[in-house]
Structure 1
Amino acid sequence: MTRQGFQPAQRLIDIASAVRTDPDLSRAALAKLLAHHGEGPDDLTEAAFSDTGAQELKDAATGMCEILAETDLDRAALMLNSLLAEHAAAPRLTRHDGHTWHLHTDHGDDAGWGNWFLASSALALAQILSEHGRITWGACQASNCRNFYLGTGPGSPRRYCSTTCASRARVAAHRRRRQEDSHK
């Protein structure tokens, strides 16, 4: 039985949100996130995914936060091009560990976790940007939320990471309006 294909853009959103929320996120917590996104147990042992590898991944995720928070299409495209030029290699199709064929753009199997994450994440966002012709990701606009969102569906552009954050923002705005009206 083969597994579903990878979703590198959603993996980026989940890891960048987790690291942005908790910069001291443990190696074990990162490994759990990676496992959720299809990385095999052999790749997530302490020997294969060491504390150094976890730190590389956290640094890469922190670096991606700037692109995920960017709202200007041209600046986002230039930032992605810069990342692709620095971290990506010629794309190659690969199939391993029971996964379906998928693209790798890192510098090979010996590339570090940071290079792998930056190359695959930049490629994923570049594909989304070229497909939709606009930025479909961003930082949640709810106060006190540090998560990012990925919105590739039809309809109005997203502003929140979840319906919970959207509802809280609507309720807070409603209360503010009522408060303002009562002071008039």
Structure 2
Amino acid sequence: MTTVPLVPAAWLVELVNGYGSRPRAAAARTEEPYPDLDRLADLPEATALGEERLIGVADRLWPLFASADSPERTAVINDLLVRSRLTPYLDHEARTRWSTSLNAPDKLVMAGCVTTLMEVVAHGGWRRIGTCEGEDCLDAHLALPGRSRRYCSTTCLNRARIRSYRARRRQDPSVPTED
């Protein structure tokens, strides 16, 4: 059995947004270079993966963020759990760890991502994960515990506010302008 790597949640979101086909297409980033994910020394399995495998992992994870339907999300994560062949165990400090019979780097990274998402959902529910509600953005995001989130970044939030302001202004010219 191989120990499943610990995948930082921020890295996971960056993977889905930077390599996922749908988020890249929605933001017209298909011609841009892929982000450098190798900078994480704690995840050597990821450095062995090429772009195609990272795209595959990101594309399999994205539906979990994109669905607003809890039963559908449950089905997706349970399928990923089965495919990852995960087995829980306790380490010497009584922390839950995971192992798998798989040893291909992309399968290990996927298993690590699945266990990270399982922890996120277990400690905060499905409302912690989602995709940006920005008009031209499908980026994934994770909300902090106890918080809700609708946009992937401040940039998308600001764009939405500006669009809303301009729409109100078109409907009601008496809305004051900022000069």
**Which residue does 2:84 correspond to in 1?**
87
Q: What is the letter of the counterpart of residue 57 of structure 2?
A: A
- Which structure 1 segments of 5+ residues have no match? 95-100
**CA shift digits 1:80-134 (9 cap, x unpaired):** 111101113213578xxxxxx98344435xx223212221222221222121133
Aligned CA distance change for structure 1 residues 107 and 11 (closer, same or farther; 3 Å): farther
Tell me how far 1:56 sits from its aligned partner. 2.0
> Structure 1 residues 126-135 or 64-73, which shifts more?
126-135
Q: What is the letter of the counterpart of residue 164 of structure 1?
A: T
**Which residue does 2:52 correspond to in 1?**
55
Q: Distance in 1 between the 2:112 and 2:96 partners?
A: 11
**Which residue does 1:103 correspond to in 2?**
97
Of 71, 89, 95, 2:68 maps to 71
**Which residue does 2:144 correspond to in 1?**
152
Aligned CA distance change for structure 1 residues 65 and 23 (closer, same or farther; 3 Å): farther
| TM-score, normalization by structure 1 | 0.71
Of 135, 147, 150, 1:143 maps to 135
Structure 1 stretches of at least 4 aligned residues deviating more than 4 Å after TM superposition: 22-26
CA RMSD for the aligned pairs?
3.0
Q: Is the 8 A contact 1:149 1:161 kept in 2?
A: yes
Q: Is the 8 A contact 2:8 2:116 kept in 1?
A: yes
Q: Does 1:39 align with 2:33?
A: no
**Which residue does 1:166 correspond to in 2?**
157
Q: Is the 8 A contact 1:137 1:150 kept in 2?
A: yes
Q: What is the letter of the counterpart of residue 39 of structure 1?
A: L
Q: 1:141 aligns to what SS in structure 2?
A: coil
**Which residue does 2:177 correspond to in 1?**
none
Q: Does 1:12 align with 2:12?
A: yes
Of 94, 107, 110, 1:115 maps to 107
| TM-score, normalization by structure 2 | 0.73
Percent identity, aligned pairs only, is: 22
Q: Distance in 2 between the 1:16 and 1:43 partners?
A: 13
Tell me how far 1:78 sits from its aligned partner. 1.9
Q: 1:142 aligns to what SS in structure 2?
A: coil
Aligned CA distance change for structure 1 residues 105 and 153 (closer, same or farther; 3 Å): same
Aligned CA distance change for structure 1 residues 166 and 105 (closer, same or farther; 3 Å): farther
Q: 1:121 aligns to what SS in structure 2?
A: helix
Q: Distance in 1 between the 2:104 and 2:59 partners?
A: 16
- The number of residue pairs the alignment matches comes to 160
